[in-house]
Copies of this chain bind each other. A is one copy, B any other.
């Protein structure tokens, strides 16, 4: 397969010459998994940053009562990892699972460190995407503190219009922080009011 998508993703923030592109690409591993495959399990040490070239992953935790909470969806052109575990190299508590058949590129922690040494520009790249991710998480935190479930759902719909029709409703509920039953009732109510 080609690496067009990931190189374009990188090019959003830093400029690589041909040699650098080649080095970068040589550090990636390709992986293809079937829908529902679990790529990382709670308790494992996360050893890779994952870039999705096709399909969709989700990162989620399972709490003490057995409920799942979705931390992030990673559709095409997104990065995902258990940042805590990746950085500390300790057991994490994130699960990463394929929502559909998915193709991805893996950058191991070791290779990522190598990249920082050989092409310091990548410090900048990962700084910038981490900053963006932080901003998004802060906003989501504020939303969870200040919005009602219905407002959070509506916001989700506007931010991820593509995902709404592709994801099982259960997963959306686990992302916005309500039970699947309640999301179902909420939608029914919203529909009524629109008539």
Contact = CB atoms under 8 A, between A and B. Distances in A.
SS of A interface (majority): helix
Interface in A78-99: 83-84, 87
A138 B84 contact: yes
A120 B144 CA distance: 36
A147 B145 CA distance: 13
**This chain: how many copies in the complex?**
2
A41 B56 CA distance: 38
B134 A83 contact: yes
A120 B64 CA distance: 43
Nearest to A140: B141
Contact of A120 (B71, B120, B141): B120
25 contacts: A61-B146, A63-B146, A64-B146, A65-B146, A67-B146, A83-B131, A83-B134, A83-B138, A84-B135, A84-B138, A84-B139, A87-B131, A87-B132, A87-B135, A116-B124, A120-B120, A120-B123, A124-B127, A130-B134, A133-B134, A134-B134, A137-B137, A137-B138, A141-B141, A144-B145
Interface of A: 61, 63-65, 67, 69, 71, 83-84, 87, 116, 120, 123-124, 126-127, 130-135, 137-142, 144-147, 177
